Structure 1
């Protein structure tokens, strides 16, 4: 009966880590965003993040977004640079219509850096993207 269960693939939802200027503190901060590049709204978006390596694991961070409108994005969290030496995992679960979908996004250790910047969809900035 396992063969009868169909798990839909998540498309057009991304996680990006962007280096942005913070006008309040006059610093450059790394922020994680969720991007909805779909033509429909996402409802009840749950995001669970943590960082880990063989020797270390961070505390778990949870965020809920009631509705993430189509073709939009939302900030998830500020990411201190010390976390980039770890694997950073984002588990995302959401409803698209009446169907629940989920996907795990992984930034491998040391892949978030200024040399890895690329254009980010919908945001008109450069950052590191996981699809």
Structure 2
């Protein structure tokens, strides 16, 4: 029964939190992105995000992307800096063909900061990446 259920491993899909300039408000913002570094489109991408610590929990945010084309990325949400003191999870589910994939990406508390910036695949930006 349970042992017969095969859960495929997610590869080539990442979550990045990028520090970028907002031209409209003239501010530096932190934005979360989903990155599809695969050679195939992802269908029905569902993302559920939340933050938590021992004493605090944020509300849950949900986002749906009908199709995330191959070798592309999409913005998920703006993240306020106050939330970096919490563990932030991004639960991602999607279809690749007829197969459903699921993975939880975790940014541990205080790991999103300017000192942790690195080049982000497919983006001409620097940010914090979770694979």
Q: Who is 2:123 aligned against?
A: 123
Divergent runs of 4+, >3 A: none
Q: CA deviation at 1:65?
A: 0.2
- After TM superposition, list the pairs within 5 Å mapping 1:32-47 onto structure 2: 32-47=32-47
- After TM superposition, list the pairs within 5 Å mapping 1:29-108 onto structure 2: 29-108=29-108
Q: CA deviation at 1:111?
A: 0.1
Q: Secondary structure at the match of 1:112?
A: coil
Question: 1:60-82 deviations in whole A, cap 9, x for unaligned?
Answer: 00000000000000000000000
Structure 1 Cα separation of the partners of residues 74 and 16 of structure 2: 10
Q: CA deviation at 1:2?
A: 2.7
Q: Who is 1:10 aligned against?
A: 10
- Structure 2 length-normalised TM: 0.98
Q: CA deviation at 1:3?
A: 2.6
Q: CA deviation at 1:124?
A: 1.5
Q: Which runs of 5+ in 1 are unaligned?
A: none
CA RMSD after TM alignment: 0.6
- Structure 1 length-normalised TM: 0.98
Range with bigger deviation, 2-11 or 29-38: 2-11
Matched, 1:110 2:110: yes
Q: Which runs of 5+ in 2 are unaligned?
A: none
Structure 2 Cα separation of the partners of residues 22 and 7 of structure 1: 39
